[in-house]
Amino acid sequence: MSRLDLVRAAIFQTLSTVLEIGKVHDRERYLREEQKFRALYIHTLPDGRLQLRGWWFRRTATEERSINIARTVNVDTWAVRGYMALDDDAGSELVFDGLIEAFRDAVRLDPTFGGVCTQGPLGDGDNTDGVQVVDTGPVTFCGVLCHSALLQLRTWSYL
């Protein structure tokens, strides 16, 4: 397994451990048929109801930095996108925000994803740690009005 595969698997595992997070995909999924596409994101709630609720993530950038002659680090930037069917009467926005914060908490508790990567230096010019909330808001996804979130995180791996 490559370094990138290990990091991807660790992010997948961490996101999947969030209670009631929904379906998690280790890549952005594409299907031509909407019904089949929607099925990829249908989650069964504890009461047996079905709800569109799922996440995917992808690497969006990699920076390779030479720290010294013998040491190189790859800094990968990951986009994490989540969707959940909107139900205003049930206060679904609050539930969705709770899922976002649960993932952020999980990463904060284990920022190295079980030792697969390392923590980045705080003075690297970005000054961010953990999972950043880039954007949230309503969207239509699979023909359903949904909450959507775009999250971002960076992982550091020494080569």
Task: Say how many domains are in the chain.
Answer: 1
Selected residue with higher pLDDT from 65 and 19 = 19
pLDDT at 111 > cutoff 60? yes
Domain that holds residue 104: 3-158
**Which amino acid, one-letter code, is at 4?**
L
CATH of the domain at 118: 3.30.70.1700
The DSSP-derived string for 122-153 is TTSSS---S-EEEEEEEEEETTEEEEEEEEEE
Q: What is the pLDDT of residue 6?
A: 96
pLDDT exceeds 90 at position 103: yes
Q: Is 90 exposed, middle or buried (0-12, 13-18, 19+ CB in 10 A)?
A: exposed
- Evaluate the CA torsion angle 40, 41, 42, 45 in order and state its sign: positive
In this structure, are residues 92 and 99 in contact, taking their beta carbons and an 8 Å threshold? Answer: no
Residue 124: its pLDDT value, please?
59
pLDDT of residue 67: 75
Share of the chain above pLDDT 90, in %: 79
